[in-house]
Chains A and B, each alone.
Chain A
Amino acid sequence: MATLTESRKRELQRDLEAIVGPGAVLSDPEELLVYESDGLTLFRALADFVVFPTSAEHVAAVVRLANRAELPFVARGAGTGLSGGCLPAEGGIVLSMMRMNRVLEVDYDNQLAVVEPGLVNLHLSSRVGPKGYYYAPDPSSQQACTIGGNIANNSGGPHTLKYGVTTNHVLGLEVVMPDGEIVWLGGKTREAPGYDLAGVFVGSEGTFGIATKVVVRILKKPQAVKTVLAVFEHVDGASEAVSAIIARGLVPAAVEMIDQLTIQAVEDAFGCGYPRDAAAALLVELDGLAVGMAAQTEGIVAACRDAGAREIRTARDEAERALLWKGRKSAFGAYGRVSPAYMVMDGVIPRTKLPYVLRRVNEIVAAHGLRVGNVFHAGDGNLHPNILYDPRRPGEEARVVAAGAEIMKVCAEVGGSISGEHGIGLEKSDFMPFIFSAADLALMRRLKNAFNPTGLCNPGKVFPTKKSCVEVGPVAYRPHAIEEKGLAQRF
């Protein structure tokens, strides 16, 4: 990528301001720094411009300008992503979607809403909550992350075990294609004619275009919720309990596991009342009809007891439920108290391989002379090992990255995947061959060509490639701005 001359830059600035207005274009290097990384601060890349469109027409005009100028462009939401997916890897224009954050329509009878991509995930549930509805995908950064970012990464969350991930809740999208054309993919009704382009677009990590309107499903809130915390002497016992729950034919809304290091960090930092000497805790949530809830809760309790749980707590009311969840939800903040830095991994394995893979993760991290805390979506086998380290110690960050790659290899070896919800982005593009053959990747490239033939839309992501313009460690860990404000957690 050639660097823009100053005069060319001024010209482009003028053109961009003509589209989005003078207050909506950043080009000052100091201001651009805010957008140099996402939640994974290992990767940094500076844009030439950051623009703030407020309409699909703005986005389309910026994209057409970028095409004329042969400048790369990428959409960005709240920047809570964890794979470097929204970084301007080759410079160019970042389109911040944060000013397109309206709820355009809520249709309760048809259980759908039309929203703009910059809407914060939780704000949708807050908006429809008073009428008894909610938006199901609940990534842990939901207080900050946007619906558009969720679409790019096909985000999940604890409660996706029962209700599915983002793609299962998106009916249609208005999209600005990489050539600037505005197109609807899918719509409010099911099974629009032709290929399921909405389904293909969700999870394409911003490489197929930029969503400007999204039709999402909203669900009725369940009549009843029951939360159980089971405490185990051995990690294997907790893993066995997960299998035992499934074997009993129970389908919980969430099954989360928290290991000893994490429990101790949480207790040191916040005192949530988890037993410090426990090897692992399992947080299980059931939801649905009030009728039958007691019987199902008994099933969960029995499954945990049979797997060797030494203590089982059941929340009697909403306050107790919040307390049980508090330890799980504050885990990432707690790591920050016990370690100068940590890096969160994201991998998926078949549930039945949990005991083996957790052992391997601990072995791998220990072999690199590091510590790991595990807090993850055990019900669907989505691991989040968090490797603790000190970036000021020379070479330590490189060891973290090496351990991470080995963990991904183990996930691949047992028939799993290298990402359950964080995406490939920049971070894992070189790991794609762990699970996909050259032929698999070739077909994905052809699909990308159909949407994004020039490659200007979010280049350098998903596929194995050299990362020429990106600064890759060893850089000192710096928390992201929104993390410092306590708005987001990293998992």
Chain B
Amino acid sequence: MQDGLLEGLRTIVGAPNVLTGVELSPYVVEGRTPDAAVFPGSVEEVSAVIALVSELGLPVIPWGGGTAASVGPPSARAGLVLGLRRLNRLVEHEPGDLTVTVEAGTTVGELQAALRGRGQWLSLDPADAERATIGGVLATNASGPRRHLYGTARDLLIGVTVVTAEGAIVKGGGKVVKNVAGYDLPKLFVGSYGTLAVIVEATFKLRPRPDDERLMCVGFDRLKDGGAAVRALMASDLIPSAVELLDGTAAFGGGGTGGALGLGPTLAGAAPAPPTPGAVLVVGFDGLGEQVEWQCAELTRLTAQLGGHHPRALASEVWPRLALGARAAFPVATAVMAFGVLPTQVAELMEQGASAARARGLGTAWAAHAGVGAVSAALATGHEPSEPAPIAAILAEWREIARAGGGHATLEWAPLAVKSQVPVWDDPGAAGRIMQRIKAELDPKNVLNPGRFVAGI
């Protein structure tokens, strides 16, 4: 990187906030070292930095907590890491309006802690809450088990401020919970992986914290039975906040970790692990104490008729492990794939996917936000794969299973050698051309996270 440019960056953000050389090691992704990392302290500084570097066509890689830094194809060019962690102010919280405006570098954990004192919360529970930033969660559309009842970022984000590829500061949406003025820019930026603009501030609608909350789990001998229980639960009068279906490995772990449930103090040692291949249905309820109580009893009654056994309450520590999905099953997963299918297809996908992997001698774990059809699968080889082909083959097979039912699959994590054989993103079809046109309109020089997203974007 030219010295003149570095000087320019230091002038904008202050010398201590520009990293170069060996200081860049935390920002190395898949062997690629960025040219520099810069940490602006205000929205105006973000704007000035982007205006400076985009002139030169230098790629800009927005960086929050770094929890999703390796998602996507490896970047073709190095560039400037734009760290947003210093943008961590709570701008405005009006409890009476049930809205909050927060800077993008605030972690989810920091925001929730600030809201807790006022009896409110952001009803979004992605994994790694202590590291994941609001900006990163929005850019990657991260969510967790409570999405079953409360939706995802698109349902909660009511306003957004971004810095465009040219450095302009632009607002979309607003600060009120209902608003149809202008195009819905918040929807455009949720899940756009930093390819259209850099999110610097977000306004959310909030909810009052429930009086009571509980997680229940019920064992099943087969995934199929667990799937039938999900269907019955969805058709019932119950209003669960989370509906999770896990196979035995995702629930109780493979290779030394505890799985999603194994660490739960209530279960540890107490519950006999269901025989493999078993399934565990985990259901969350919240509301008034009497509502939670009644629903837990109803769940037990309803699932007992469908072969459910060992119903019990889980410790609240299990929640964040559920957000990890199948990843929680292994100390190190070789690959993680995320699927979107119909809720009724979840159990079948899990069974088929696991048996296809078994046929190739590969161990897997499967977990799903079953009520919304969001499934994750982790593959473990137990050692660093010397040959990517068998792994690539099973991932491609999984994707085909999902696609055959009208679903889709994203390769969330895999070694570089595997990613070069299996596309990370699924094919967006004819809509891909519209996406390319949006990208060309908003980032004509292709500087924002180039090559990270679908359709070559």
Contact = CB atoms under 8 A, between A and B. Distances in A.
Interface of A: 107-111, 153-154, 156, 160, 164-165, 167-168, 177, 181-185, 187-197, 199-200, 202-204, 220, 223, 243, 246-247, 249-251, 288-289, 291-292, 295-296, 348-352, 377, 380-382, 415-424, 428, 432, 435-437, 439-444, 446-451, 453, 462
12 contacts: A110-B344, A190-B152, A193-B427, A196-B154, A197-B431, A243-B96, A349-B176, A381-B176, A435-B174, A447-B183, A447-B441, A450-B441
B182 A188 contact: no
Contacts of A415: 174-176
Nearest to B176: A348
Nearest to A349: B176
B191 A196 contact: yes
B373 interface: yes
Point out which of B180, B287, B291, B440 has the most chain A C-beta atoms below 10 A from its C-beta.
B180
A194 B454 contact: yes
B340 A417 contact: no
Point out which of A288, A443, A448, A451 has the most chain B C-beta atoms below 10 A from its C-beta.
A443
B453 A249 contact: no
Interface string B123-144: 0000000000000000001000
A348 B191 contact: no
B406 interface: yes
Contacts, number: 256
B341 A189 contact: yes
Contact of B182 (A111, A197, A432): A432
- CB-based closest 8 A-B pairs: A199-B187, A249-B208, A194-B428, A189-B340, A450-B437, A352-B96, A446-B441, A417-B179
A419 to B, nearest CB: 5
A288 B180 contact: no
Contacts of A195: 188, 191-192, 196, 435, 438
B435 A191 contact: no
Contacts of A193: 408, 410, 425-428, 454
Given A192-B340, A246-B98, A436 B184 contact: no
Interface string B434-457: 110110111000000000011101
B235 interface: yes
A184 B176 contact: no
A249 B435 contact: no
A185 B291 CA distance: 38
B373 A190 contact: yes
B180 A203 contact: yes
B182 to A, nearest CB: 6
Interface in B163-187: 164, 168-172, 174-185, 187
Nearest to B453: A194
Contact of A194 (B169, B179, B209, B455): B455
Point out which of A153, A156, A196, A380 has the most chain B C-beta atoms below 10 A from its C-beta.
A196
Contacts of B341: 189
Interface in B260-301: 287-288, 290-291, 294-295
A29 to B, nearest CB: 33
B342 interface: yes
B151 interface: yes
B372 interface: yes
A154 B184 contact: yes
Given A109-B344, A197-B434, A443-B442, A223 B237 contact: yes
B57 to A, nearest CB: 19
A183 B178 contact: no
B87 to A, nearest CB: 19
Interface string B204-229: 00011101000000000000000000
Contacts of A444: 172, 182-183, 185
Contact of A220 (B169, B237, B425): B237
Contact of B295 (A289, A442, A451): A289
Contacts of B151: 164, 168
A441 B207 CA distance: 31
A408 B193 CA distance: 35
B182 A352 contact: no
Nearest to B287: A292
Interface in B58-97: 94-97
B182 A436 contact: yes
Contact size class for B?
35 or more
B244 to A, nearest CB: 15
A372 to B, nearest CB: 21
B239 interface: yes
A183 B431 contact: yes
B432 interface: yes
A417 B181 contact: yes
Nearest to B141: A191
Point out which of A181, A195, A432 has the most chain B C-beta atoms below 10 A from its C-beta.
A195
Contacts of A251: 207-208
Nearest to B432: A194
B291 A350 contact: no
Nearest to B442: A446
Nearest to A354: B96
B41 interface: no
A242 to B, nearest CB: 9
Given A190-B373, A194-B455, A296-B288, A381 B177 contact: yes
B304 interface: no
Contact of A289 (B182, B184, B237, B427): B237
B397 interface: no
A447 B94 CA distance: 32
A350 to B, nearest CB: 4
B290 A292 contact: yes
Nearest to B120: A249
Interface in B306-349: 340-344
B169 to A, nearest CB: 7
A381 B178 CA distance: 8
A450 B295 contact: no
Contacts of B197: 443
B434 A177 contact: yes
Contact of A440 (B170, B295, B373, B410): B170
B55 interface: no
A446 B182 CA distance: 13
Contacts of A200: 183-184, 187-188
Contacts of A249: 119, 208-209, 211
A176 to B, nearest CB: 12
A289 B286 CA distance: 12
A178 to B, nearest CB: 11
Given A249-B119, A415-B176, A204 B441 contact: no
Contact of A432 (B94, B181, B343): B181
B4 interface: no
B441 A190 contact: no
A451 B441 CA distance: 10
B178 A295 contact: no
A236 to B, nearest CB: 14
Contacts of B344: 109-110
Nearest to A291: B294
B234 interface: yes
B50 interface: no
Contact of A153 (B98, B170, B180, B434): B180
Contacts of B99: 350
Given A296-B288, A416-B176, A199 B408 contact: no
A198 to B, nearest CB: 8
B30 interface: no
